[in-house]
Structure 1
Amino acid sequence: MHVHLQQPADGAQAPRFLRLTLVPDLFGGWELLRESGRVGARSQLRRELYLTADEARHAYDKARDAELHRGFQILSHGD
């Protein structure tokens, strides 16, 4: 499951992006990967580990909704 969000361009700076990816790990848990940065520049990758799919899905939804509230727009998503 993943979603790619981006802020609208505002002036001279490149827009910011955020990619959220939810994947199972090798030990039965779940990872929420957050890749963020400016388009065309280096990005930062953060990993959050969860024991259950429900916890991971809740964190994914909460992170997505928080960024939508901050003005990001969904460019693409998939399950």
Structure 2
Amino acid sequence: MNHLYLERHDTENNMHRFYQMFVTPGLFDDWSLIKEWGRVGSPGTVRKEWFDTQEDAIVAGKKLCAAKCKKGYYAIRTGK
């Protein structure tokens, strides 16, 4: 999982949200999970979380993805 894009739509409540995640290497042999979320079509809020290994960042991303899917988000497109 290098990139994951999720969306959630609820037209009755006018809710059209996205959540995306990227796993990228840092400058000091570390890895980051970059998370962005917000309303579809608008710029989102971005946060970074740092990890010692790529595997740790991927595991954190997968856990977050599972939690989002339980709330009604679904994958639109994914990276490698």
What TM-score does the superposition give when structure 1 sets the normalisation length?
0.90
Q: Does the CA contact (< 8 Å) of 1:36 and 1:45 recur in 2?
A: yes
SS of the residue corresponding to residue 7 of structure 1 reads: strand
**Residue equivalent to 1:32:** 33
**1:16-71, Cα deviation, whole Å (9 max, x unpaired):** 00011111111111010110000123310010000112211110110111111110
For the structure 1 residues 62 and 12, does the alpha-carbon distance in structure 2 shift closer, same or farther, using more than 3 Å as the test?
closer
Partners of 2:48 and 2:5 lie apart in 1 by 16
**Identical pairs, percent:** 29
Partners of 1:14 and 1:66 lie apart in 2 by 18
Q: Which runs of 4+ in 1 moved over 3 A?
A: none
SS of the residue corresponding to residue 19 of structure 2 reads: strand
SS of the residue corresponding to residue 36 of structure 1 reads: strand
Q: Does the CA contact (< 8 Å) of 2:3 and 2:23 recur in 1?
A: yes
How many pairs were matched up?
79
Q: Which stretch has the larger CA shift, 3-12 or 62-71?
A: 3-12
State the Cα RMSD in Å. Answer: 1.3
Structure 2 unaligned segments of length 5 or more: list them. Answer: none
